[in-house]
Structure 1
Amino acid sequence: MQKNIILIGMPGAGKSTIGVILAKRIGFHFIDTDLLIQAQEKLRLQQIIDIRGLENFRQVEEQVLLDLHTEHSVIATGGSVVYGKNGLKKLGESGVLIYIHVPLLLLQQRIADMGQRGLVMSKGQSFQDLYQERTPLYEKFADITIFSAEQNAEQVAAQIERKLISLGNALPSESHANRE
């Protein structure tokens, strides 16, 4: 059975973009859990948070993760995935958890319109507070941490691919043929 590759990290870390590129490179499926939530709820993430509240959003997110049955997939998760212990545990059992670490200042530059982003933040909480709260959780749950500050999405995907191969994770054999 092929394992999944699960990308975790802060909003703006590039999980979805990197995930698509990585999936193409290694011949895996690509799944974005934020899109699954939006399709199921028929609302944008920010609308779910605004209408139903943070706690409901987190419950919906965790249930989507618990209901996800896939293999041979790159899964880009929402930044708040680390709050749903059961959902995250299930994901971890299905594959390797990779934390895409991006420094706070770079994330702040990338996220211009936080209000429409669907950020799971408490009222009055700053993005810096959120970063400081979540970073230890990502580090705790990650099997692999990728530092991506000075790289574009293609370079990060290549770095993840090399790391997985070096650790002996089963990838399709053609995936590591002169890709850079």
Structure 2
Amino acid sequence: MNRKTVYLCGFMGCGKSTIGRLLAKRLGTGFTDLDTYIEKKEGLRIPEIFEKYGEDHFRAAETEALEELGAAGGVVATGGGALLSDANAQTAANNGTAIFIDTPFEICYGRIKGDKNRPIAYNSTKEQLLERFEYRRPLYMKNSRAAVDGSGTPLGIVEQIMKNLI
């Protein structure tokens, strides 16, 4: 692999954290979940950040964290909205390789419905989430070096990613 950081992106519930841990082990490198990193840095859980400061504050923290983690290297599981902005996509491209885990909506929805730790998912209807999914998917495609099919097994997805890192 010629780039030091692998950024995994995709919709909420697509498997970024699960795949990220496996990929980091396979690559012999560190793993960071971007949301967990932000929570530690801010001293608040994601829902509390949204409630206390709003989504704009959270997105700014996300941008800052992407830059910091890009310098550190390893595998980063980004939040569902992290690589939607051109600025964040450029940060990822400058520091590594962004891979989109393209998981069908129904699989994602089954994993995120009713999850209080995901404020956007918890406060949205299935229809609203589907609309968000359909809006975001082309942006993930545009802002990633490659897309992998997220409907398979975690190890199968890791193998697909490995082929894109060579």
Q: Which amino acid aligns with 1:98?
A: I
Contact 1:80 1:120 in 2 (8 A): no
What's the CA shift for 1:10? 0.6
**Distance apart, 1:121 and its partner CA:** 9.2
- 1:176 aligns with none
Question: Which residue number in structure 1 is paired with residue 57 of structure 2?
Answer: 56
TM-score relative to the length of structure 2: 0.87
Gaps of 5+ in 2: none
How much is the aligned-residue C-alpha RMSD, in angstroms?
A: 2.2
3-state SS of 1:114 partner? coil
Separation of aligned partners in 2, 1:12 and 1:3: 25
Stretches of 4+ aligned residues off by more than 6 angstroms: 120-125
Q: Displacement of 1:159 after TM fit?
A: 2.0
Q: Aligned to 2:150, which of 148, 151, 155?
A: 148
Q: Which residue of structure 2 aligns with residue 129 of structure 1?
A: 131
Structure number with greater Rg is 1
Give the SS at the match of 2:81. Answer: helix
Amino acid at match of 1:139: M
**Residue 138 (structure 1) aligns with:** 140
Compare the two structures and name the one with the higher helix fraction. 2
Distance 1:35 1:146 in 2: 24
CA contact (8 A) 2:114 2:121 kept: no
* Amino acid across the alignment from 1:10: F
Is the aligned partner of 1:75 residue 2:56? Answer: no
Aligned position for 2:96: 95
Once the 2 structures are TM-superposed, how far is the Cα of residue 115 of structure 1 from its aligned partner?
A: 3.2
Please report the TM-score for the alignment, with normalisation by the length of structure 1.
0.81
Range with bigger deviation, 122-131 or 8-17? 122-131
Q: 1:120 to 1:83 in 2, by over 3 A?
A: farther
What is the aligned length? 163
Q: How far apart are the structure 2 equivalents of 1:122 and 1:85?
A: 26
Using the TM superposition, give the Cα deviation of residue 142 of structure 1 relative to its aligned residue in structure 2, in angstroms.
Answer: 1.0
Identical positions, percent: 30
1:135 and 1:122, CA in 2 relative to 1: closer, same or farther beyond 3 A? farther
- What one-letter code is carried by the residue in structure 2 that aligns with 1:144? A
Question: For the residues of structure 1 that align with 2:20 and 2:156, how far apart are their CA atoms?
Answer: 12
Q: Which whole-Å CA distance do the structure 2 matches of 1:105 and 1:79 have between them? A: 16
Query: How big is each residue's C-alpha offset from its partner over 1:141-176, in whole Å with a ceiling of 9 and x where there is no partner?
Result: 111100121x12122112211332xxxx3xxxxxxx
Gap change, CA 1:99 and 1:121, over 3 Å in 2: farther
Cα offset, 1:114, TM superposition: 3.4
Tell me by how many angstroms 1:119 deviates: 3.3
Output the CA distance in 1 between the equivalents of 2:26 and 2:67: 27
One-letter identity of the residue aligned with 1:28: T
8 Å CA contact 1:102–1:147 kept in 2: the answer is yes
1:108 aligns with 2:121: no
CA–CA separation in structure 1 for the residues paired with 2:144 and 2:103: 14
Deviation string, structure 1 residues 77-121 (Cα, Å, up to 9, x no partner): 001112443233111111111000011111111113233224389
Q: Is the 8 A contact 2:114 2:122 kept in 1?
A: no
